[in-house]
Amino acid sequence: MAEYGTLRVKTGLAEMLKGGVIMDVVDAEQARIAEDAGACAVMALERVPADIRRDGGVARMADPQRIREIQEAVTIPVMAKCRIGHFAEAQILEALEVDFIDESEVLTPADEEH
């Protein structure tokens, strides 16, 4: 019987990524280029978070449709970031079945106080 979502599967996937290159991508074309270049995984982003904050915007999780397009474009694992403490973003990423969720300090905090 196949295993899905078990600790063994999750740690096995993490082990496969060790020593590999994880590329930040903002669309399916960049994801395909990264895969063709040998990336072991891609991180789906809306834009580079530092650029968004520099321009006065809010860096948050990438658009779910964009993430789905990236997932459909590649065979390597797709990761995505959510804001620290923003459980709704994390739940969306879980529903999209991304391979890893990065609760990231580089995105704009959901709540500056907590």
Give the C-alpha separation, 11 to 20, whole Å.
15
Q: Which of 82, 104, 99 is nearest to 17 (CA)?
A: 99
Strand, helix or coil for residue 82: strand
Name, in order, each residue with C-beta under 8 angstroms of 85's C-beta and a sequence gap of 6 or more: 103, 109, 110, 111, 114
Instruction: Give catalytic residue positions.
Output: 81
Rg (CA), the chain: 14
